[in-house]
Amino acid sequence: RGIGVAALLLDSIFSSDGVWVDPPGFIARGVAAVREAGGLVIADEVQPGFGRTGTHMWGFEQHEIVPDLVTLGKPMGNGFPIGAVVGRKSPMERFGGTARYSNTFAGNTVGIATADAVLTILQRDQIPQNALSMGQRLRAGVEKVAKRHDGVRGIRNAGLFFGVDMGPEGTPAAGRRAMALDVVDAMRDDCVLISTTGANEDTLKV
């Protein structure tokens, strides 16, 4: 229809689709195709970023790509409300030169100081490396549970980011979803907050 490709916006661990840990470089071909078509590449790092996946500070680094824009959110302030968009000079200048933008709460100094402290501690305390080692321990524990109970269908993780598929093969979709929600409720009763994800909402997102 004559409408070009504007951008590819991606969460490199596909956290809303079931937490899929793809091999390094998996998305590189898609990124190259979008750039060849004139589009921007936007990395959503709200969930895979900040060292959670263990191997890198940012999820896109695993795929050896450099996005045009990166969105950062909730973890950036460790509970304090702040978000950011980081980008290459070229798209930022093009946007700033053609559009007026203001925000009542932009540039809040307390929020910026909080985010600066969070990033400093993440690097100082080697949080990505800790996520990697603790993720290995957690996976070993989940695998032990899976051997004792046939309710776990699959386990995927990158660092401390887990996707655990619930319900044995052959279980109706409604049953798998109900089983996952039962686990979420039981964990909440023990003061541990997790959620479900995936097309059928039968995957635990930890």
Separation of first and last alpha carbons in the chain: 42
Predicted pLDDT at 53: 93
In a domain, 2, yes or no: no
The domain tally of the chain equals 2
Structure confidence by residue, pLDDT tens digits, 33-76: 999 999 999 999 999 999 999 989 999 998 989 999 999 988 99
Averaged over 162-186, what is the pLDDT? 95
Confidence label for 109 from pLDDT (cuts 50, 70 and 90): very high
Are 85 and 13 part of one and the same domain?
Answer: yes
Predicted pLDDT at 103: 80
Are 146 and 161 part of one and the same domain?
Answer: yes
Predicted pLDDT at 74: 87
Are 24 and 112 part of one and the same domain?
Answer: yes
Burial of 60 by CB count in 10 Å (0-12 exposed, 13-18 middle, 19+ buried)?
A: buried
Confidence label for 155 from pLDDT (cuts 50, 70 and 90): very high
Whether 55 and 128 have beta carbons less than 8 Å apart is answered as yes
Are 50 and 27 part of one and the same domain?
Answer: yes
Confidence label for 23 from pLDDT (cuts 50, 70 and 90): confident
Averaged over 133-158, what is the pLDDT? 94
Structure confidence by residue, pLDDT tens digits, 112-138: 999 999 999 999 999 999 999 999 999
Confidence label for 1 from pLDDT (cuts 50, 70 and 90): low
Predicted pLDDT at 97: 82
Are 30 and 103 part of one and the same domain?
Answer: yes
Calculate ∠ Cα 11-117-82, nearest 5°: 50
| Amino acid (1-letter code) at residue 185 | D
Which among 98, 99, 80, 85 has a CA at the least distance from the CA of 40? 85
- Alpha-helical (H) ranges within 12-126 are 28-36, 89-98, 109-124
Q: Using the 3D structure, point to which of 124, 153, 186 is the last residue of a domain.
A: 124
Q: Torsion over CA of 180, 183, 184 and 187, rounded to 10 degrees?
A: -160
| Amino acid (1-letter code) at residue 159 | G
pLDDT averaged over every residue in the chain: 93
CATH code at 97? 3.40.640.10
Are 70 and 157 part of one and the same domain?
Answer: no
What are the CA-CA distances from residue 130 to residues 49, 122, 141 (Å)? 14, 10, 17
In a domain, 90, yes or no: yes
Q: Is the pLDDT of residue 172 over 70?
A: yes
Confidence label for 96 from pLDDT (cuts 50, 70 and 90): confident
Q: Quick one: tokens of 107?
A: 């540039």
CATH code at 187? 3.90.1150.10
Are 16 and 113 part of one and the same domain?
Answer: yes
Q: Is the pLDDT of residue 14 over 80?
A: yes
Are 92 and 163 part of one and the same domain?
Answer: no
- Residue 42 sits at φ, ψ, to 5 deg, of -115, 120
In a domain, 1, yes or no: no
Q: Torsion over CA of 133, 186, 21 and 7, rounded to 10 degrees?
A: -120
Q: Is the pLDDT of residue 20 over 70?
A: yes
Are 131 and 105 part of one and the same domain?
Answer: no
Q: Is the pLDDT of residue 2 over 80?
A: no
Are 119 and 58 part of one and the same domain?
Answer: yes
Are 188 and 105 part of one and the same domain?
Answer: no
What domain range is 161 assigned to? 127-205
Q: What percent of the chain has pLDDT over 90?
A: 79
